[in-house]
Structure 1
Amino acid sequence: MKTENEIRHYIDRTTTLKAFFKSLPLHVTEIGDGNLNFIFRISDESGNSLILKYAAPYLRLLGEDFPLPQERICVEMHTLSYFKNITPSLIPNIYHCDEEAFCFAMEDLSDYKLLQTAQFDQFISLSIYTKLGSFLAKLYAKTPPRHEESYYENATLKRISEEYIFIFPYIENHPALMLPEFFTPMPKSELFMQNIQTLLTLFQDSKECLIHGDLHTGSIMVKNESLAIIDAEFSLVAPLGFDVGVLLAHILFGEIYAYFERKPLNYFAIIHALWKEFEKEMGGVPEHILKQSVGFCGAELSRRLVVPAKAKPLEAITSLKAKTKAYELCEALSIALVEDFLHVKSLEDFIAIVERHLCVKTH
């Protein structure tokens, strides 16, 4: 279901979707630059619109030579429906799910921006990060309805996360990597590699709660003080610290961009807003979640420097000299976080590590 005619035909024979639109003809436009799936905006002459997401039997970015199970989108439907139940104001409306056709229709968020993009050119209300802290606390506090493991996680996508976060980045000249010409990774210490292995084992074996699995600033959309969390196909039952750490890493990518583009830094206020609401709703954060969040943050910062899916804030830095320094700073910060995460005892410890690297006085 990749052509306009195929989509129009699908809508015409799907009662729920056909009833959604009031006046023909329908306008079908492929949108987004997602790696995994095809995403279309469909609208009619009256201005009614929705988003249709379809999972082809391969990776959209690389084509038919890279097969992927279509069931990945069923996992996303199940997880988003559960998230909608526990945090209704933070998840887009889902209008239609079709597990046989491997597609679903959801609210059109065309008046929203990706948080990742919005970081570049506008002030983001701290209430956005407060709401994200609340979302993380609810993931930990709530338990989804019981189902077989494959209902909420796809084994192939979990393996992709394992390989591209914890394994491939540390194999020299691995064909899955894509190193920029201006960046050569430092040799990693034995301690660093031991801690990466510890984080991998946690990711594989700890069944703490159902998490988003890819909770970065490109999976969060914002409009003023409203936010919508999307793209949950990587969801799985795993340590909560993984979601927290990935989100912290992408907040820091945005701040590194701001630093090298000579814009104000706001990571202290952002991280405190996120963490204090998380802590309040949790009634206190268990120490293992803090430690693991710091470790997973370091792993995410590290791997985005060498995998094909680069951190867009770093890529947006205009000067090659500044971008080179940003990569070096990011790598040094990632090493410190991974090597030290087991010794972090407070949020202030984490922020102190960040400040040693991302501080105007230092540079």
Structure 2
Amino acid sequence: MTSDYPFLTVEEVPEYIRNHPRLASHVDAGNLASVREIGDGNLNLVFIAKDNAGRGLVLKQALPYVRMTGESWPMTPERSRFEIQSLEAHAALVPELVVRILDKEPGRYIFAMEDLSDHQVWRGALNKGEVHKGVAAEVGRYAGAVAFGTSVFGMDRLELAARQEVSVDPELCVITEDLVFTEPWAGAERNEWLPQNRADVWEFQADHRFGEAMAEAKYFFMTHAEALLHGDLHTGSVMVRKPEGSNEADSVKVFDSEFAFYGPVAFDVGATWANYAIAAARAYALGEDDRAHWCLGLVGETWHAFEAEFRRRWPERRDPRLWDEEFLNRLLQRWRNESWLFAAAKMSRRIIGAAKTTDIETLPPEIREGAARGVLRMARSAVVERWADSTPNHFQELAEWLLVEARTS
């Protein structure tokens, strides 16, 4: 496969900045201290440039293929446009919680963002055992603002239809449909797991109740165009910062929304729950039970902040004639139930599917086995238990029991 646009290189970055006046006001291209390629994902080139005054910016360019497989897995770079659109739409609602875009060049699928070098990726911080209090609530507030502000409740009907028409990248949606919902349960060549978990995977893939639940989840994903979601919201797509000597986060920034699309609101919420469970599985495996309990408590923090933000905006709904308080309560109850469903999908794909998480993968094999087993058991239980009690407290209690029971040493 050949590309019809040039890829950005470390050597070209200074000239690129000089040729874009809007960037020159953020960093001195003639006095750069460093330019580094920092992309650790599968789909993009990412560069950070810093000048000798300490100012910096980030350049991100979409590649036309998946990096981990090369040109054998082509990927439309048009996703860059969808990422820009979603970041701008979300920033209009909660600017303090979204990475700021500085400039864009659609022809080369490049856009520039603010430098967040004084932040760190939340997943990495969690893996190191660090605590950033308040982040989960801010993520919930972000999801609540997006759920209301980009939906039929917060937008003019014609404006909403126009945005829906230009805000979905079918290629990336197909990736999610395959990797998240279908392949972990139905099987695929690119699935991979620890040999010690082979029996767990066989048992999981023989669970027809889980397969039925994934059929429902995939259908919702493909047909419920409720709001302009982030599409890949997890601890690896949130940057965090805290003052020295404090555990209270003073800045939270959501980024990396190239999988953004109009979909079911609970998909983003459930994705965060899954990642909190995975972080807890790591902590339990390491014998850090108190921290694991704290990680699972993030489920409630995110949900309650999501609900509070959505309720706060509810008086601004476009049409209150039918959408009354009783409707709101039913809607939130449905989304809470569906969050369990999507969390189950996200948990299973991170253990069996092609793209995993460092929370589990960096554990020594002898304890990774139990952590992976616990996450799979939680995924299987979640699709059933959501009907008995869909509260975050029940999610936390169930996960605590299953993850502790499954851990190995």
Judge same fold: TM > 0.5, yes or no: yes
Are 1:5 and 2:19 matched, yes or no?
A: no
Q: For 2:339, which of 289, 293, 306 is the aligned residue? A: 293
Query: Does structure 2 conserve the Cα–Cα contact (< 8 Å) formed by 1:112 and 1:222?
Result: yes
**Equivalent residue, structure 2, for 1:32:** 39
Matched, 1:261 2:275: no
Cα offset, 1:248, TM superposition: 0.5
Q: What corresponds to 1:153 in structure 2?
A: 168
For residue 222 of structure 2, the aligned residue among 186, 200, 204 is 204
CA shift for structure 1 position 52: 0.1
* SS of residue matched to 1:53: strand
Write 1 or 2 for the structure with the bigger share of helix. 2
- Give a deviation string over 1:271-301, Cα, whole Å, max 9, x none: 2222222222233562110111001111111
Change (3 A) 1:20 1:286: closer
Indicate yes or no: 2:65 matched with 1:58.
yes
Q: Is the 8 A contact 1:31 1:40 kept in 2?
A: yes
Q: Which residue of 2 aligns with 1:178?
A: 192
> C-alpha offsets along residues 226-269 of structure 1, whole Å, 9 cap, x if unaligned?
11101000011111111011110001111110111111221353
Per-residue deviation, 1:96: 0.4
Instruction: Establish whether residue 242 from structure 1 lines up as the match of residue 267 from structure 2.
Output: yes
Partner of 2:371: 326
Matches of 1:148 and 1:279, distance apart in 2: 24
Letter in 2 for 1:60: R
Q: Which residue of 1 aligns with 2:76?
A: 69
Would the alpha carbon gap of residues 12 and 303 (structure 1) be closer, same or farther in structure 2, given more than 3 Å must change?
A: same
Deviations 1:46-80 (A, max 9, x none): 32210000012222332222211111001000100
Of 286, 301, 306, 1:273 maps to 301
Q: Distance in 1 between matches of 2:349 and 2:104?
A: 34
Q: Residue type of the partner of 2:186?
A: I
- Contact persistence 2:227–2:264 (CA under 8 A): yes
The answer to whether the Cα contact below 8 Å between 1:55 and 1:70 also exists between their aligned partners in 2 is yes
Distance in 2 between the 1:6 and 1:66 partners?
A: 26
Give RMSD over aligned pairs.
2.1
- In the superposition, relative to structure 1, how do residues 162 and 362 fare at CA in structure 2: closer, same or farther (>3 Å)? closer
1:353 and 2:398 are equivalent in the alignment: yes
Letter of the 1:178 counterpart:
E
Question: Which of 112, 119, 125 is the aligned partner of 1:112?
Answer: 119
Q: What is the SS of the residue equivalent to 2:284?
A: helix
Identity of aligned residues (%): 26
Q: CA deviation at 1:12?
A: 2.7
Residue of structure 2 aligned with 1:20, choices 26, 51, 71: 26
Which residue number in structure 1 is paired with residue 380 of structure 2?
Answer: 335
Once the two structures are overlaid, the 10-residue window that deviates more, 301-310 or 338-347, is 338-347
Deviation larger for 342-351 or 250-259:
342-351
Q: What is the CA distance between 1:91 and its match in structure 2? A: 1.0
> Aligned equivalents of 1:107 and 1:28: distance in 2?
15
Given that 2:18 and 2:24 are in contact with CA atoms closer than 8 Å, whether structure 1 keeps it comes out as yes
Contact 1:24–1:45 under 8 Å retained in 2: no
Structural mapping, 1:184-223, within 5 Å: 184=198, 185=201, 186=203, 187-223=205-241
Q: CA deviation at 1:321?
A: 1.8
Report if aligned partners of 2:167, 2:260 keep a CA contact under 8 Å in 1: yes
Q: For residues 290 and 48 of structure 1, what CA distance do their matches in structure 2 show?
A: 42
Q: 2:258 aligns with which of 207, 213, 233?
A: 233
Match of residue 101 from structure 2:
94
Could you report, residue by residue, the CA deviation over 1:143-187 in whole angstroms, capped at 9, with x for unpaired residues?
265435463221100000000011122234x22212232221024
Q: Do the aligned partners of 2:232 and 2:257 also contact (CA within 8 Å) in 1?
A: yes
* Aligned partners of 2:10 and 2:47 also within 8 Å: no
Q: How far off is 1:25 after superposition?
A: 4.2
Amino acid at match of 2:343: C
**How many residue pairs align between the two structures?**
361
How far off its partner does 1:359 sit?
A: 4.3
- Aligned AA for 1:259? Y
Structure 1 unaligned residues grouped into runs of 5+: none
Between stretches 237-246 and 52-61, larger displacement belongs to 52-61
TM-score of the superposed pair, with normalisation by structure 2 = 0.83
Q: Which sits farther off after the overlay, 73-82 or 276-285?
A: 276-285
Where does structure 1 differ by over 6 angstroms across 4 or more consecutive aligned residues? 360-363
185-194 or 202-211: bigger deviation: 185-194
Conservation of the 8 A alpha-carbon contact between 1:290 and 1:344: no
The CA distance in 2 between the partners of 1:361 and 1:236, in whole Å, is 36
